[in-house]
């Protein structure tokens, strides 16, 4: 097997101005992230870093003086010893305090970075980018907060750059001190230590690029882990006895994610001979050159101690401390964030749609999902008239929900256009257009908010009285629920923590319907109901259409359902098949035509004919309120 990314072999071009300029710009951008943190924290970080730099050569001087006093017996050794200890303690105190300051600063910067990423994700008017695997990969790297000991943090990278800069300056200060006696040795050690650091960093980055290349496999690991530990699938996994199987799938996905990484890491370990040889040369030079000079009488023992401490300080350059890893991990997240910022959202319209009920037309609309072999909708033509109750039916996968998302401007047609009173929907301001409509989707969101907020968020700009909300709850058959809540409308609907109250699936669906009615009562002129009774029983479903849907006045209603019994009262019914409207008419008209709609309707009604001959139209219409859906109509 070959590596998913090429091994970064050394090239002289790495020392060119282009490469060095890019490295400088990269580091400058990381330091620029410090502006999102506290100025006081930044000042504290700089101060502790300067103390670490200053105490490095001071320890060497104190060591020289202390050894000189001990060997020559020419003075009091107490003050040199105290100075050496004080320098070491001050350095350690600065490191500990600096660590606390850097972590606080990093958290602040990370919060700002995550806020930027959320704004980027929410910036486009549509949702197609959220379904793009490439966007998901980049967003995953930008938001990765770490696995085990590692942490891909922009904030840690920014403060790590300060720490690395301080470490480098400290080592150079030690090199300058060593150069007082052995300038060639100081230069040689600095260069060789940088070479060791470069080799180590190059190999380590290669391994991380291998791991990043497997980000899609990483998402599979997260999926199986969430499935095993989350509450959503807990009942089904235990009922079907799948707990062990899911655990095995998670383990298999983990192996698939890291198999190449582990294999390549073993190969990298075999490449350590050069680094080990250079390290041995550095140690031999650092000990041999000053030691030989001391044996020959060229320097005294105190100076020898000074040179050894200074040489040890130079070796800090070769040490890949945690801050180096923080930089490289965080740099990847920063690059991903910059890549996300470079994604320009599609240009949207700015025109304000009319406040009245509009005529909406789909004109030869075609839509194809990215990477899909064929379009979901193909040259579709449809008119939604003002104040009309339009039902859209069709088999599963016919494109009904896609059509609604196009209507809401969440997707842009691949071809054709959608017009509102003759104006192209693409020219209208998306926020203004959506403020004219409301929708109840089958997969609606259950917000962990109060009952009041779960209703009013459908039209947050409006003010609602308790009386209005209570009337809507009565209309939605939720009066018993309201009466059972200790805090009434201010009860938090959340069963995953203390202080909350959970609802059943049917109660949540009725609450979502109440939310839709509230939006309609506050100016929404287009109401979309996408499988609005999926969690309701037959009686509750009938009541929903009689009372809830019937309560919608002075608005266009688009109803999607796979239960044909629920669409009988619609002004018009259209059948969506193979991406096109194949039948259009009232319930009675479509039955008389004897087409696909009539066939599907009779198939549903026959389930309740008690095995007798196929019922006539009157019997079918009388029984259809209890009709179950056939297999091919399930959505």
Give the DSSP letter string of 175-194: HHHHHTT-HHHHHHHHHHHH
Question: Was domain 23-341 assigned CATH 1.20.1560.10?
Answer: yes
Which residue in 389, 343, 384, 315 sits closest to 138, CA to CA?
343
The pLDDT score that the predictor gives to residue 628 is 39
The pLDDT score that the predictor gives to residue 634 is 40
> Mean pLDDT per 10-residue run, the chain (635 residues)?
60 64 79 87 92 88 84 73 88 90 89 82 78 76 55 81 88 92 94 87 79 78 82 74 84 85 83 87 93 91 91 86 76 79 70 75 92 88 91 83 89 92 89 87 85 90 89 87 88 73 84 88 87 72 70 82 79 90 92 90 71 40 39 41
The pLDDT score that the predictor gives to residue 619 is 36
- Of the chain, the end-to-end C-alpha distance in Å amounts to 43
The pLDDT score that the predictor gives to residue 583 is 92
Q: CB of 129 within 8 A of CB of 343? A: yes
Residue spans of the domains in the chain: they are 23-341, 360-585
- In which residue are the tokens 């998402």 written? 219
- In which residue are the tokens 């309740």 written? 608
Side-chain-side CA neighbours of residue 271 (13 Å): 17
Q: For 360-585, which CATH superfamily applies? A: P-loop containing nucleotide triphosphate hydrolases (3.40.50.300)
State the pTM of this model: 0.65
How would you label 123-137 residue by residue, b for 16+ Cβ within 10 Å and e otherwise?
ebbbeebeeeeebeb
Alpha-helical regions (H) of 296-427? 301-314, 322-341, 400-407
User: What span, in angstroms and rounded, lies between the C-alpha atoms of 422 and 356?
Assistant: 14
Q: Is the dihedral of CA 20, 23, 28, 29 positive or negative?
A: positive
Side-chain-side CA neighbours of residue 61 (13 Å): 13
What is the token pair recorded at 232? 């959503």
The pLDDT score that the predictor gives to residue 120 is 81
Q: CB of 387 within 8 A of CB of 571? A: no
83 φ, ψ (degrees, to nearest 5): -65, -40
Distances (CA, A) of 65 to 59, 204, 311: 10, 41, 17
The SS3 assignment for 413 reads coil
The pLDDT score that the predictor gives to residue 630 is 41
Q: E-assigned strands of 333-385?
A: 360-367, 377-384
Radius of gyration of the chain (CA): 35
Helix, strand, coil % in the chain, rounded to nearest 5: 60, 10, 30
The pLDDT score that the predictor gives to residue 282 is 93
The pLDDT score that the predictor gives to residue 5 is 64
The pLDDT score that the predictor gives to residue 237 is 78
The pLDDT score that the predictor gives to residue 18 is 72
The pLDDT score that the predictor gives to residue 574 is 92
Cβ neighbours, 10 Å, residue 321: 12
Q: CB of 5 within 8 A of CB of 213? A: yes
Q: Are strands 526-530 and 437-440 parallel, antiparallel or unpaired?
A: parallel
């Amino acid at each position: 097997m070959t590596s998913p990314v090429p091994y970064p072999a050394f090239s002289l071009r790495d020392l060119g101005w282009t490469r060095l300029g890019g490295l400088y710009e990269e580091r400058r951008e990381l330091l620029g992230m410090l502006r999102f943190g506290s100025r006081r924290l930044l000042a504290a970080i700089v101060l502790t870093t300067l103390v670490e730099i200053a105490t490095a050569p001071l320890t060497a001087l104190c060591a020289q003086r202390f050894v000189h006093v001990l060997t020559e017996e020419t003075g009091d050794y107490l003050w040199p010893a105290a100075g050496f200890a004080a320098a070491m303690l001050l350095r350690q105190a600065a490191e500990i305090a600096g660590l606390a300051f850097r972590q606080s600063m990093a958290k602040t910067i990370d919060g700002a970075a995550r806020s930027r990423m959320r704004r980027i994700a929410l910036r486009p008017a549509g949702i197609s980018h959220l379904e793009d695997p490439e966007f998901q990969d980049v967003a995953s790297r930008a938001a990765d907060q770490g696995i085990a000991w590692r942490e891909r943090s922009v904030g840690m990278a920014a403060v790590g750059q300060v720490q690395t800069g301080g470490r480098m300056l400290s080592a150079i200060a030690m090199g300058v001190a060593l150069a007082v006696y052995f300038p060639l040795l100081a230069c040689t050690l600095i260069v060789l230590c940088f070479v060791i650091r470069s080799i180590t960093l190059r190999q380590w980055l290669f391994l991380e690029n291998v791991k990043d290349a497997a980000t899609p496999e990483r998402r599979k690991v997260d999926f199986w882990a969430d499935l095993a530990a989350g509450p959503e699938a807990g009942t089904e996994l235990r009922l079907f006895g799948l707990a062990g199987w899911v655990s095995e799938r998670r383990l298999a996905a983990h192996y698939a994610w890291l198999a190449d990484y582990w294999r390549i890491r073993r190969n990298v370990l075999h490449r350590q001979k050069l680094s080990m040889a250079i390290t041995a040369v550095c140690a031999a030079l650092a000990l041999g050159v000053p030691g030989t000079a001391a044996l020959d009488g060229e320097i005294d023992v105190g100076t020898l101690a000074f040179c050894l401490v200074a040489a040890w300080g130079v070796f800090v350059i070769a040490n890949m401390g945690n801050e180096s890893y923080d930089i490289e991990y965080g740099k990847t997240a920063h690059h991903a964030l910059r890549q996300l910022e470079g994604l320009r959202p599609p240009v949207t319209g700015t025109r304000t749609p009319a406040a009245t009920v509009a005529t909406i037309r789909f004109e030869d609309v075609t839509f194809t999902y990215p990477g899909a072999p064929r379009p979901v909708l193909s040259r579709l033509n449809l008119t939604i008239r003002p104040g009309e109750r339009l039902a859209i039916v069709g088999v599963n996968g016919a494109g009904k929900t896609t059509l609604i998302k196009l209507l809401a401007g969440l997707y842009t047609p691949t071809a054709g256009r959608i017009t509102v009173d003759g104006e192209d929907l693409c020219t209208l301001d998306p926020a203004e257009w959506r403020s004219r409509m409301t929708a109840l989707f089958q997969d609606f969101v259950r917000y962990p908010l109060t009952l009041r907020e779960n209703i009013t968020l459908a039209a947050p700009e409006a003010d609602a009285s308790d009386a209005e909300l209570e009337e809507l709850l009565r209309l939605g058959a939720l009066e018993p629920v309201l009466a059972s809540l200790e805090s009434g409308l201010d009860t938090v609907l959340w069963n995953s923590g203390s202080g909350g109250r959970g609802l059943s699936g049917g109660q949540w669906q009725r609450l979502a319907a109440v939310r839709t009615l509230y939006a309609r009562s506050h100016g929404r002129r287009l109401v979309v109901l996408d499988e609005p009774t999926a969690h309701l029983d037959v009686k509750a479903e009938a009541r929903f259409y009689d009372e809830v849907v019937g309560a919608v006045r002075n608005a266009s209603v688009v109803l999607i359902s796979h239960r044909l019994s629920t669409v009988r009262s619609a002004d018009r019914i259209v059948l969506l098949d193979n991406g096109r409207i194949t039948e259009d008419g009232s319930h009675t008209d479509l039955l008389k035509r004897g087409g696909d709609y009539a066939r599907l309707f009779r198939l549903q009604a026959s389930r309740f004919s008690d095995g007798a001959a196929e019922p006539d139209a009157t019997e079918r219409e009388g029984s259809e309120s209890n009709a179950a859906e056939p297999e091919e109509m399930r959505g």
